[in-house]
Amino acid sequence: MTNVTGDRRNGRHSEVGRDGRVGEDAGGVRRQVVDIIASRTLYDESYLLPDSHFEAELGIDSVIFESILASVKEQFSLVAPLPSGLVTVGDLVRAVERACQAPAADVPGPAHTAAPGGPLLETVVTTTMRHTQYQRSQLALGADFESELGIDSVVLASIVADAARELGLPPDLAGTVTATSLDELVEALRPYHEDTRRVDQSLTRPGSGRGASPVPDERATDGRAADGRAVDDPGSAWDSRSMKDFVEERDGDLFAKTRSFGRYLRRREAERLYWYGMPLHSRCSNRAVIFDELEGLEREFLMFASNNYLGLANHPKVIEAVCDATRRYGATHTGSRFIGGTNMLHKELERRLAAFKQRSACIVYPGGYAANIGAISALVKSYDTVVVDKLNHMSIVDGARLSGATRRIYQHNDMADLERILKRCDEDPGGKLIVADGVFSMHGDICDLPEIVRLAKEHGARVMIDDAHSTGVLGRRGSGTAEHFGLKGEVDLELGTMSKTLAGMGGFVVGDEEVVEYLRFYSNSYVFAANIPAGVAAGLIASIDVIESEPERITKLWHNIRLLRSQLADAGFDLENTRSAILPLVVGDERKAMELGRAVRARGLYCQTVVFPGVPLGDARLRVSVTSEHTPEDLETAAGIFVEAAREVGVLPSAG
Ligand SMILES: Cc1ncc(COP(=O)(O)O)c(C=O)c1O
């Protein structure tokens, strides 16, 4: 594999001296230090000048500074501590040079230097560093974006958009250019880059410098994409943009992108294709009264969008518990668990969750999202590796990004791919964490836990499973994926959310005591955030009571799942490999999926229409969730509605 500057793992520079340290090349030292700062802060390298003050100019606090120092020491194999009082980038560079006994030449001047390979390669590398937090030395040119660098299509689109902007290439390349490695990306951009250079050279206008796009981004001005597609005019043809197109729109006014997105949203709403976030005017049960803000109408819908899998959100004991505890302890705690925000019910809830999950300890977080980002970033550091399924929930993706670790993505539930990836990082000295959804939230299938556990043992990795959609659904007792596979105690950490089956709010992680204790002190989303109110904790405890005392709810749920699943499969829908209460009706094309959602809603059924970023582009679907509260008539009616609507929009062939 070709490296940009050296070996990928742990930044061992290719020019390691006989004493095992790097340092004979002063320019190289400076660039590596700057790379490390850039990767820890997400600043562009060109911003990191010798005089840049860590605190005053760069906003680098002591925590980030310590992580920079740790990486610098590791990269240069420095044993002795660096001196204190390093306040600028130049100070740090000089200190490292001294420590490496390298001449302190070349420190003043702009920190940005081009990598061999010219401005195209350099721009691609620096934008990749910026979007991934990797250091230059971790970016091998031939490394596979997904399996080796954990760069998914969303991050790639941002890299392409950013590089295109910097190089003055057409602005809509992000949607069209695909590549599986940096090498490929450079080659894919090269023809555009060369065209742009030719245009630059032929321009007589002085001062037409790089960075100013020769192809103006017309979207923002006249509602046309660069290829001439009309995009903002409601009367014109189909607007083929997706939400992805508004992520990287740059403008001096931060709110410019909100205006373009607003125009796009209004249009989708006018077409009745975006219908997200309409308020309920009733409890959410098998039916719900929803106020349609677009039509100004209140209407009862058959409800197939709720994750209230066991109907506990409406259970009288749960509601009573919430009300009683709220009357007793007040509405909220107004502070973190560490500073006066711990109620005895938090402790009780943690005990009950640990017992329900048959693990020794539990930590409750403010939410499932907070649990993922908090637990992953507490355990996994920049010298470790997180290995994730391609279809994991966004909170896992964000937790992995926040950790700054090497991310590696295996193809969805593909255990051969997971094994390949684990083998590749066998030699890495850092720790490894495999994270997967137990039940995949937009697909409904179950992770291959037995294989994950086996491979983790073989390769010395830890495992964390997100049971957001498995709790209350999988296992005879409803305790989740590990119970389903008879692997209790074999999974290092089991995470859950309490906003779904458990009918409250909050997230949790269960595992061994000392691991949970560590998470309590090192998860920022726990330490620096207020937790769930006592009333919510009381409701959650009541929900666990009900799950344990009314097991027939799980039996009923599974009866309903089987009934609707077989009706939809018989009708010809692609349900992928669902094995849970989530039934995906796979469509693929975003427009068709939105049209199907509209046709279903028109018939009085409410379910989720899932487009980017809920699923990758081209994988759009309806997501139907079944609960124990649905009656046989509800399921029969729902199946009829899905079939009729799918025939109307051409997702299923018309009858006869
Ligand atoms: C798999 C998964 N993990 C985590 C979460 C986040 O949970 P919460 O809504 O409690 O923040 C969700 C929510 O949809 C989820 O589906």
Distance CA 34, CA 20 (A): 21
User: For atom 10 of ligand 1, which residue has the closest CA?
Assistant: 368
Of the listed ranges 113-117, 446-450, 497-501, 510-514, the one predicted with least confidence: 113-117
User: What's the gap in Å between 234 CA and the centre of ligand 1?
Assistant: 35
pLDDT at 577: 97
Distance CA 612, CA 243 (A): 7
Complete domains list, the chain, with CATH? 9-124 (1.10.1200.10), 131-202 (no CATH), 287-303+553-649 (3.90.1150.10), 316-549 (3.40.640.10)
pTM equals 0.78
Q: Atom of ligand 1 at shortest distance to CA of 440?
A: 1
User: What does the pLDDT average to over 628-641?
Assistant: 98
Q: Atom of ligand 1 at shortest distance to CA of 507?
A: 10
- Give percent of the chain with pLDDT exceeding 70: 88
Of the listed ranges 17-31, 571-585, 616-630, the one predicted with least confidence: 17-31
Separation of CA 625 from chain center: 22
* Residue 8 scores a pLDDT above 50: no
Catalytic residues: 441, 469, 500
Q: Atom of ligand 1 at shortest distance to CA of 392?
A: 1
pLDDT at 656: 65
* Residue 104 scores a pLDDT above 70: no
Please give the single-letter amino acid code of residue 282: S
User: What does the pLDDT average to over 154-176?
Assistant: 84
Q: Atom of ligand 1 at shortest distance to CA of 395?
A: 4
User: For atom 7 of ligand 1, which residue has the closest CA?
Assistant: 368
- Ligand 1: residue of 306, 309, 369, 580 to mutate (most ligand atoms within 8 A of CB) is 369
Q: Which DSSP letter does residue 6 get?
A: B
pLDDT at 28: 83
pLDDT at 26: 65
User: What's the gap in Å between 368 CA and the centre of ligand 1?
Assistant: 5
* Residue 474 scores a pLDDT above 70: yes
User: For atom 15 of ligand 1, which residue has the closest CA?
Assistant: 468
Q: In whole numbers, what is the pLDDT of the chain averaged over residues?
A: 87
Q: Atom of ligand 1 at shortest distance to CA of 372?
A: 4
pLDDT at 22: 39
- Ligand 1: residue of 364, 466, 497, 615 to mutate (most ligand atoms within 8 A of CB) is 497
DSSP E strands in 531-619: the ranges are: 582-588, 605-606, 608-610
pLDDT at 471: 97
Could you give phi then psi for residue 473, rounded to 5 degrees? -120, -50
Confidence of residue 4 (pLDDT cuts 50, 70, 90): very low
**Ligand 1 proximal residues by C-beta, below 6 Å:** 367-369, 372, 393, 395, 437, 441, 466, 468-469, 497, 499, 507
Could you read off the pLDDT of 71-93 as tens digits, one per residue? Answer: 888 888 888 888 888 989 999 99
User: What's the gap in Å between 228 CA and the centre of ligand 1?
Assistant: 39
pLDDT at 18: 35
* Residue 11 scores a pLDDT above 80: no
* Residue 522 scores a pLDDT above 90: yes
Separation of CA 66 from chain center: 26
**Buried b / exposed e along 363-382 (16+ C-beta atoms within 10 A):** bbbbbbbbbbbbbbbbbbeb
* Residue 256 scores a pLDDT above 70: yes
Confidence of residue 235 (pLDDT cuts 50, 70, 90): low
Could you read off the pLDDT of 18-72 as tens digits, one per residue? Answer: 333 334 466 788 888 998 888 877 787 888 899 988 887 787 877 788 888 888 8
Could you read off the pLDDT of 388-426 as tens digits, one per residue? Answer: 999 999 999 999 999 988 899 999 999 999 999 999 999
Of the listed ranges 344-348, 503-507, 651-655, the one predicted with least confidence: 651-655
User: What's the gap in Å between 373 CA and the centre of ligand 1?
Assistant: 11
Of 1 and 280, which is predicted with more confidence?
Answer: 280
Pair 592, 649: CB distance under 8 Å: yes
User: What's the gap in Å between 305 CA and the centre of ligand 1?
Assistant: 14
Pair 171, 217: CB distance under 8 Å: yes
pLDDT at 161: 85
pLDDT at 365: 98
Phi-psi region at 274: left, alpha or beta (left = phi > 0; alpha = psi -120 to 50): beta
Q: Atom of ligand 1 at shortest distance to CA of 499?
A: 10
User: What's the gap in Å between 598 CA and the centre of ligand 1?
Assistant: 25
Pair 82, 95: CB distance under 8 Å: yes
Could you read off the pLDDT of 288-309 as tens digits, one per residue? Answer: 999 998 889 999 999 999 999 9
User: What's the gap in Å between 505 CA and the centre of ligand 1?
Assistant: 10
Angle at 601 between CA 597 and CA 606, to 5 degrees: 90
User: What's the gap in Å between 468 CA and the centre of ligand 1?
Assistant: 6
Of 473, 497, 488, the closest CA to residue 359 belongs to: 488
CB atoms within 10 A of CB 24: 15
Q: Atom of ligand 1 at shortest distance to CA of 505?
A: 10
DSSP E strands in 373-431: the ranges are: 385-389, 406-410
- Ligand 1: residue of 308, 393, 446, 481 to mutate (most ligand atoms within 8 A of CB) is 393
Q: Atom of ligand 1 at shortest distance to CA of 441?
A: 16
User: What does the pLDDT average to over 465-483?
Assistant: 98
- Ligand 1: residue of 392, 395, 525 to mutate (most ligand atoms within 8 A of CB) is 395
Dihedral, CA of residue 189, residue 194, residue 196 and residue 201, to nearest 10: 160
Of 205 and 448, which is predicted with more confidence?
Answer: 448
pLDDT at 46: 82
Confidence of residue 233 (pLDDT cuts 50, 70, 90): low
Q: Which two tokens stand for residue 89?
A: 């980038």
User: What's the gap in Å between 136 CA and the centre of ligand 1?
Assistant: 33
Confidence of residue 637 (pLDDT cuts 50, 70, 90): very high
- Ligand 1: residue of 353, 373, 397, 441 to mutate (most ligand atoms within 8 A of CB) is 441
List CB contacts of 605: < 8 A, sequence separation 6 or more.
301, 302, 304, 637, 638, 641, 642
Distance CA 63, CA 345 (A): 33
Of the listed ranges 190-194, 372-376, 451-455, 486-490, the one predicted with least confidence: 190-194
Unique residue bearing structure tokens 């974006």: 145
* Residue 558 scores a pLDDT above 60: yes
User: What's the gap in Å between 165 CA and the centre of ligand 1?
Assistant: 34
User: What's the gap in Å between 437 CA and the centre of ligand 1?
Assistant: 10
